[in-house]
Every structure is written in structure tokens, then in C-alpha cells.
């Protein structure tokens, strides 16, 4: 009887820990919010196209990979940055950098990759920075 209680106690504690641990749920909620915002702007994005990485120094980087036509990669990139910024702000995530990779078909396949800090993204999302000013602050690779 004591073994059953001990086993039941371990199971209950395990379930509670898994339920209330936010790290696993946080990524899926963040990714879902980003998807919803992108879908509202007719940008297709899957949760498998996003990743959240913690670097050795403890900083977190969100990477989003998406596709576009050859003439609208800049619009897709701005929407992805906007969606990431809104979702990060809403979920109060501590992400320091966002990287967007836009793949397109142009004489074969090409990719444009840009990185921005959370501070610059927040200014863009809040409207204190125009989209043209925000593009000038991006770091293209």
C-alpha cells in the first residue's frame, strides 16, 4: 500500500511539474501568436519555420524562415518582424534578437537574411519608428 502511495505521489508531482513548466509551452504559444499575425497579413508560416535558441551568454534569438515571391520579399520581412515583435511583447518573452530569413525564387533560389534587436523591433511595432527607418537599422547578412 505504501508503494502505491509513493508511486501516486511521484506521478502527481511529475504531472504538476510538466503542467506548470512554462518553457515548453512558451515556445508554442509564441509561435502560434506569430502565425496568427502573419496569417492576418496573408503570409504563410508554420511553427516548424521558427526556432528559439538560447546562446551561451544566456541571450535568446528567435529565427523565422519564410518564403516570398521575388518582388515582395521586403513586405514579407517587415510583416515577420512586426509579428515577432507583437508576439514577444504580448507574451513578455526575454528575446534579445530576431532573425528573419526570406527565401525566394530569382534565377534559381536566393535568400535574404536580416537581424534586428528587440529594442529596434519594439520601436517599429509601437510606431515610433517608420518602416523605412526600421529597414535602415536592420543588419543584412
The predicted-structure confidence for 68-104, as pLDDT tens digits, reads as follows: 987 888 999 999 999 999 999 999 989 999 999 998 8
For 55-64, the pLDDT digits (tens) are: 889 889 999 9
Say what the pLDDT of residue 120 is: 95
Cell representation of residue 41: 497579413
Contacts of 4 (CB under 8 A, 6+ apart): none
For cell 525564387, what's the residue? 105
Say what the pLDDT of residue 6 is: 65
Most confident of 26-30, 45-49, 81-85, 91-95: 81-85
Say what the pLDDT of residue 118 is: 94
Q: How far is CA 105 from CA 68, 72, 109, 111, 122, in A?
A: 8, 11, 5, 9, 30
Contact (CB, 8 A) for 46 and 34:
no
pTM over 0.85: no
Alpha carbon 104 to its chain's center: 20
Say what the pLDDT of residue 140 is: 87
Strand partners, 99: 63, 115
Amino acid at each position: 500500500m505504501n508503494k502505491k502511495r509513493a508511486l501516486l505521489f511521484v506521478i502527481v508531482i511529475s504531472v504538476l511539474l510538466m503542467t506548470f513548466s512554462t518553457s515548453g509551452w512558451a515556445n508554442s504559444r509564441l509561435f502560434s501568436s506569430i502565425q496568427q499575425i502573419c496569417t492576418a497579413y496573408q503570409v504563410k508560416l508554420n511553427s516548424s519555420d521558427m526556432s528559439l535558441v538560447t546562446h551561451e551568454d544566456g541571450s535568446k534569438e528567435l529565427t523565422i524562415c519564410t518564403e516570398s515571391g521575388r518582388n515582395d520579399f521586403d513586405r514579407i520581412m517587415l510583416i515577420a518582424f512586426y509579428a515577432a515583435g507583437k508576439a514577444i511583447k504580448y507574451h513578455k518573452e526575454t528575446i534579445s534578437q530576431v532573425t528573419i530569413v526570406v527565401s525566394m525564387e530569382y534565377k534559381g533560389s536566393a535568400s535574404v537574411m536580416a537581424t534586428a534587436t528587440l529594442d529596434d523591433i519594439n520601436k517599429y511595432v509601437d510606431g515610433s519608428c517608420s518602416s523605412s527607418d526600421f529597414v535602415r537599422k536592420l543588419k543584412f547578412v
